[in-house]
Amino acid sequence: MPQQQKLQPIDDAFPDFFFVPGQHNGRYPNANSLLVLTNENPQEALLMDAGIGRHTLQKILHNMQITKVWLSHWHEDHVYGCPLLRKSGATIACHPNDIPVLQDVSLFNMLYKVTDTSLQKMFDEVLQSLGIENIPVVESLHTGKMYNVGNDHIIQVIHTPGHTKGHCCFYFPEARLIFLADIDLSGLGPWYGALDSSVDDFERSIQSVLALNAEYVITSHKGLYKGKVEIKKELQLYLDIIYNRDQRILVALGERKPKTSQDLVGKQIVYKNYNGEFKDYLPIAEGIMINLHLTRLLQKGKIAKEGTGYILQ
Ligand SMILES: [Zn+2]
C-alpha cells in the first residue's frame, strides 16, 4: 500500500483504489484524482486527471511510478500536472474529441470565447501560471470499451459529453465506482459555458451515470461520495438544476416583448452574482449557457423566435 498520508483507499474492500484530494480540497485550479495501483513491486499506478497540485503530485511520484494518466477532459484544472507526469515517464490518454485541444492549447481561449477580448491577457496569465503547454496524447479512450489494468481491474470508459465534447467518466464495475470528473455535484450545477459545451448532452450524460447505480463516486471538486441512495439523490438534484434554469428562462421571457440571451445575462439564470477572479468572464459563460437553453426551449416548442429575440409560445 502506498505510504502516503494523503492517499485514502476508497474502502478497505478495494485496497487498490485511492481517492487523491486535490490541494485546497480540490478547489479550482485544483481537482481531485483517483489513483489505481496497477503493480505492487515496484509500485506503479494509473492516475485519473492531473490537477491535484504540484506538491501532492511530487510526493506521490517520490514513492511510485505513474505509468499512465487518463484525462477526463481538456480543462486546465484537470491537466496542468501533465508536463511533470510526462517527464517522469507517464503516457497520456483521453477521448478523441478532446485530443486536438490538448495538443494545441492555444485553442483554450477560443473555446472559452475570450480570444481578442480584454480578458485574453488574464486567461493567458492563468494558463501560464499553471504551466499549461501542449500535451501529446498517445492513446484514445474509446466509449464503452473495457480496459483491463493492474490486478485484473476492469475500467469502462463512459463518454459523457456536455461539459466538453470529449468529457468522460471512468467506471469500475467491481467496486461500482465512477470517477465523475466535472459532473461535479457542485451547488452551482452543471457547467456548459464553453463553445464545445452542450446542455442536452450534459442532461443525457447525467442520466447515463444515474442509471449505473454507483456505490462510490469521486467528483473533481467535491470529493468522494459513498452510498447508492445518497449518490442518486445528489445526481438527481444536480440534474434538476438544468430544469430549474429552463424554468427561470421561461419566467423571464414574456409573451410580447422579445428578449435575447444578452437580455437574460446577469438575471440570476445561472450565477447568483459575478464574484471572484473570473467575475468579468462569468457573463460570457452565462451567455453561452443561456443560448443553449434558448435553443433547447425553441426545439421543445416552449418559446418562439421573434426578430433577434425570443417570446413565450
Ligand atoms: Zn472542466
> How many C-beta atoms lie closer than 10 Å to residue 313's C-beta?
13
Question: Ligand 1 centroid vs 222 CA: distance in angstroms?
Answer: 13
Superfamily of domain 8-239: Ribonuclease Z/Hydroxyacylglutathione hydrolase-like (3.60.15.10)
**Residue with the three cell numbers 489494468:** 149
pLDDT score for 4: 46
Q: For residue 253, what are the contacts with CB-CB under 8 A and spacing of at least 6? A: 259, 303, 310, 311, 312
DSSP 60-105: HHHH-EEEEEE-S---HHHHTTHHHHHHTT-EEEE-GGGHHHHH-T
What pLDDT score was predicted for residue 36?
96
User: Rounded to the nearest 10 degrees, how much is the dihedral formed by the CA atoms of 129, 68, 180, 184?
Assistant: -10
pLDDT value at residue 256 = 85
The C-alpha atoms of residue 88 and residue 99 are separated, in whole angstroms, by 21
Q: Give the per-residue pLDDT at 5.
A: 53
pLDDT at 254: 85
- How far is ligand 1, taken at its centre, from the CA of residue 75, in Å? 5
What is the Cα–Cα distance from 147 to 136, expressed in whole angstroms?
Answer: 21
**In the structure grid, which three cell numbers stand for residue 102, read together?**
490538448
Report CA-CA distances (Å) from 94 to 247, 264, 295: 35, 35, 29
Whether the pTM exceeds 0.75: the reply is yes
Instruction: Give the pLDDT confidence score for residue 1 in this predicted structure.
Output: 45
Cα(191) to centroid(ligand 1), Å: 8
Q: What pLDDT does 7 receive? A: 81
pLDDT at 3: 46
Spell out the per-residue pLDDT of the chain, length 313, in tens: 444 455 879 999 999 999 999 999 999 999 999 999 999 888 999 999 999 999 999 999 999 999 999 999 999 999 999 999 999 999 999 999 999 999 999 999 999 999 999 999 999 999 999 999 999 999 999 998 899 998 789 999 999 999 999 999 999 999 999 999 999 999 999 999 999 999 999 999 999 999 999 999 999 999 999 999 999 999 999 999 999 999 999 999 988 899 999 999 999 999 999 999 999 999 999 999 999 999 999 999 999 999 999 999 8
State the Cα–Cα distance between residues 77 and 275, nearest whole angstrom.
19
CA 10, distance to chain mean position in Å, is 20
pLDDT score for 104: 97
Q: How far is the CA of 103 from the centre of ligand 1 (A)?
A: 17
Q: Are 222 and 234 in contact (CB under 8 A)?
A: no
Q: How far is the CA of 30 from the centre of ligand 1 (A)?
A: 11
Q: Which helix (H) or strand (E) holds 232?
A: helix 228-252
Cα of 213 to ligand 1 centre, how many Å? 23
Residue 78 CA to residue 135 CA, distance in Å, equals 12
Give the long-range contacts of residues 59-62, CB within 8 A, separation 24 or more: 59/4, 59/6, 60/2, 60/4, 60/7, 60/20, 60/35, 61/85, 61/88
Residue 51 Cα to ligand 1 middle (Å): 11
Ligand 1 centre distance from Cα of residue 182 (Å): 5
